[in-house]
Amino acid sequence: MARTPLIAGNWKLNLDHLEATHTVQKLAWLLRDAKHDFADVEVAILPSFTSLRSVQTLVDADRLEVKYGAQDISAHVSGAYTGEVAGSQLAKLGCDFVAVGHSERRQYHAETDEVVASKTKAAFDNGIIPIVCVGEGLDIRKAGDQVSYTLAQVDGALAGLPADRAKDVVIAYEPVWAIGTGEVATPADAQEVCGAIRGRLAELYDAELADGVRVLYGGSVKSSSIAQLMAEPDVDGALVGGASLDPEEFAKIARFRAHQVGL
Ligand code: PGA
């Protein structure tokens, strides 16, 4: 089954809504100039909540093919949860995607696998595709336990998720030691865990479902490293942090096929 690559930019806590619209505009123009075919490689950005309405307005008005989503979602539907943003609110803003269980949420907001599973469910309940983030820290990598650790996170995040939803999930393998450090995993490191994630999906569901799910790599991805990563059979795209803030660099990452020639 052919999986459409997904290149998603996680802007984290950067850019106000004016900067966000400017950046999306620039990205869209760069990709338009490059005749980027969005049917071949999907491109999405995940700005702050405060930018979503402006991004929606721009994308709708200019009929841009760039997709967008949020960096987090509440596990709750509504009620007394100060500061949280519900899936229904994100759906109203046209979000296609939402990142769930990013390591920064797990670390700074104590998100457990149970919380990640609830948020995954909340996304699907509202027709939003969750990008479920998993990945080991440095101590676990040094002990050689990256596969078992990451697969346990996959099991936790997908607990109770029926196949008709799991077929649409996106999983991002982001080793914590590679996030924001400039230390990108080798293509072989990325393939080892991304391949194991697909294998686990086949065990949890079936081989056909596993074959259709997109597994991304994330952690210090740049235009200079994306082509080699994408050449791996089980890497179906990237979740890009720092490099996605620069539209020229991010557009180059999205156009990885142009520089895959000569690999
Ligand atoms: P980075 O972040 O590309 O800046 O390492 C990746 C991520 O956290 O999604």
Over the stretch 57-67, which tens digit does the pLDDT of each residue have? 999 999 999 99
pLDDT over 70 at 261, yes or no: no
Centroid of ligand 1 to alpha carbon of 242 (angstroms) = 6
Residue 183 pLDDT grade (very low, low, confident, very high; cuts 50, 70, 90): confident
Residue 200 CB contacts under 8 Å (≥ 6 apart), including other chains: 151, 154, 155
Predicted pLDDT of residue 116:
98
pLDDT over 90 at 1, yes or no: no
Predicted pLDDT of residue 67:
98
CA–CA gap between residue 214 and residue 203 (Å, rounded): 16
DSSP-based helix, strand, coil % in the chain, nearest 5: 50, 15, 40
Over the stretch 25-35, which tens digit does the pLDDT of each residue have? 999 999 999 99
pLDDT over 70 at 5, yes or no: yes
pLDDT over 80 at 260, yes or no: no
Given the residues 42, 104, 111, 174, select the one marked as catalytic. Answer: 174
CA–CA gap between residue 50 and residue 70 (Å, rounded): 10
- Token couple for 246: 């620069």
Residue 114 is a catalytic residue: no
Residue 237 pLDDT grade (very low, low, confident, very high; cuts 50, 70, 90): very high
Over the stretch 99-146, which tens digit does the pLDDT of each residue have? 999 999 999 999 999 999 999 999 999 999 999 999 999 999 999 999
- Token couple for 162: 């029926």
Residues 178 and 184: beta-carbon distance below 8 Å:
yes
pLDDT over 80 at 81, yes or no: yes
- Within 34-137, where are the H helices? 49-61, 87-92, 103-108, 113-125
What type of residue sits at position 254? A
Q: Look at 53 and 181; give whichever has higher pLDDT.
A: 53
**Single pTM value for the model:** 0.97
CA angle, 220 then 186 then 108, to 5°: 40
Centroid of ligand 1 to alpha carbon of 224 (angstroms) = 15
Of 55, 169, 167, residue with least CA distance to 123: 169
Residues with CB under 6 A from ligand 1: 10, 174, 179-180, 218-221, 239-243
CA–CA gap between residue 61 and residue 129 (Å, rounded): 23
Summary mean pLDDT of the chain: 96
CA–CA gap between residue 220 and residue 179 (Å, rounded): 6
For atom 2 of ligand 1, which residue has the closest CA? 241
pLDDT over 60 at 77, yes or no: yes
Predicted pLDDT of residue 259:
77
Of 215, 239, 214, residue with least CA distance to 226: 239
Mean pLDDT, residues 32-43 taken together:
94
pLDDT over 90 at 184, yes or no: no
Mean pLDDT, residues 81-99 taken together:
98
